[in-house]
């Protein structure tokens, strides 16, 4: 990482609904947190058998494959936003609705091992991207879903979003 001290995002750097994700991330080394989650998450998910990955903990809830697919989609979108903002692109970025994404993706028809590989490759790529940002890039603000957000906050959202969903997988599935 470049020579600067990483800081947690201020509450002014993200919309209030993202606070629950930012708050889940311990400390200020978000790149370290993102990197560390790769092994932890893959160990947990890799212990789930192909057939068990189709399990839903209740009627109308997502399968484990859909949860992982949602984590992938969300990380990809948040990382794209972070890249645009870090590169000083001031174009307002649209929001997204997770439910149509799940319906259109058909994650339950995908190979479980393929979803895990996609998660790993995406995360490793994003760790490299975030690790290459300088202090100015981390603090840049942009607009997504009509709200101000920084590249730094988006990295914390990605890490916290994964923590949120992995807690659900561990507790309910």
Alpha-carbon span 79 to 154, nearest angstrom = 7
Residue 1 has pLDDT above 60, yes or no: no
CA Rg value for the chain: 16
Segment 95-131, tens digit of pLDDT: 999 999 999 999 999 999 999 999 999 999 999 999 9
Residues forming beta bridges with residue 147, ordered by sequence position: 144
**Integer Cα distance of 82 and 95 in angstroms:** 14
**CA nearest neighbour of 98 among 123, 70, 122, 78:** 70
Q: For residues 89 and 49, what is the distance between their CA atoms, to the nearest angstrom?
A: 42
Cα torsion 146, 150, 156, 159: sign: positive
DSSP string, 113-168: HHHHHHHHHHHHHHHHHHHT--HHHHH-EEEETTEEEEHHHHHHHHHHHHHHHHHH
Predicted TM-score of the model (pTM): 0.96
Task: Say whether pLDDT at 69 is over 60.
Answer: yes
Domains, the chain, ranges and CATH?
25-172 (1.20.120.450)
């Amino acid at each position: 990482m470049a020579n600067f001290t990483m800081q947690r995002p201020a509450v002014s750097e993200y919309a209030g609904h993202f606070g629950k994700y930012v708050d889940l991330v311990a400390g200020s080394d978000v790149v370290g947190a993102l990197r560390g989650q790769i092994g932890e998450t893959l160990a947990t998910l890799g212990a789930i058998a192909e057939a068990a990955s189709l399990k839903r903990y209740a009627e109308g809830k997502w399968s484990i494959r859909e949860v992982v697919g949602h984590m992938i989609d969300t990380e990809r979108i948040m990382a794209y936003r972070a890249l645009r903002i870090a590169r000083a692109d001031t174009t307002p970025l649209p929001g997204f609705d997770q439910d149509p994404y799940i319906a259109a993706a058909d994650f339950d028809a995908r190979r479980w091992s393929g979803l895990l590989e996609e998660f790993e490759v995406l995360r490793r790529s994003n760790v490299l991207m975030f690790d290459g940002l300088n202090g100015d890039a981390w603090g840049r603000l942009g607009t997504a879903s009509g709200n101000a957000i920084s590249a730094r906050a988006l990295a914390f959202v990605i890490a916290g979003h994964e923590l949120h969903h992995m807690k659900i997988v561990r507790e309910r599935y």
